[in-house]
Amino acid sequence: MRYIFGALVFALLITSCKQEKESVPNLPDPYQAGWEGKKVCEVLEDNDHLRVLKCTFPAGVGHEKHYHNPHFGYALKGGTFRMDDAKGIREVSFPTGYSWSKDEVSEHQVLNVGDSTSVFLIIEYK
């Protein structure tokens, strides 16, 4: 009986790890992703509970396709972007002070199509 219980626990762990791995796309995370070989995000804080990124996008600069774990975002300085995600390609504007949150893994690519620099905080939960 003990061996059956151990095998069941092991099978559940393998399944859980496999599902977790499958839920993260084969893409860079927002810190790893950049634009034309240059970083657009810097790490402000990284601890056991969260990672805080500050991402800066001058006009004409984007963020290559990447994934986000569940996170909270805040526009320190808003702007207008062409966004390519699961909803398709569209233009979106983020006013300064705009915030959002995602409870699931997501992926997108963006390009600042406005005429000024935009800056965002991304707070990722661990």
Residue 91 has pLDDT above 70, yes or no: yes
The whole model's pTM is what?
0.80
pLDDT digit string (tens) for 18-52?
Answer: 334 445 669 999 999 999 999 999 999 999 999 99
pLDDT band at 123; cut points 50, 70, 90: very high
The closest alpha carbon to 118, from 42, 40, 45, 64, belongs to 40
Give the residue carrying structure tokens 């398709």: 88
Averaged pLDDT, 61-70:
96
Is the sign of the CA dihedral 91, 99, 22, 110 positive or negative? Answer: positive
Give the pLDDT confidence score for residue 25 in this predicted structure. Answer: 65
Q: Greater confidence, 3 or 90?
A: 90
Q: Decide: 54 and 44 in contact? Cβ < 8 Å.
A: yes
pLDDT top residue among 5 and 32:
32
The CATH T-level fold of domain 28-125 is Jelly Rolls (2.60.120)
pLDDT of residue 85: 96
Q: Identity (one letter) of the amino acid at 118?
A: S
Q: What is the dihedral of CA 111, 124, 70, 83, to 10 degrees?
A: 0
Angle at CA of residue 120, ends 116 and 126, nearest 5° = 160
Q: Are 52 and 43 in contact (CB under 8 A)?
A: yes
Q: Compare 1 and 11 and report the one with higher pLDDT.
A: 1
Give residue 6's pLDDT.
38
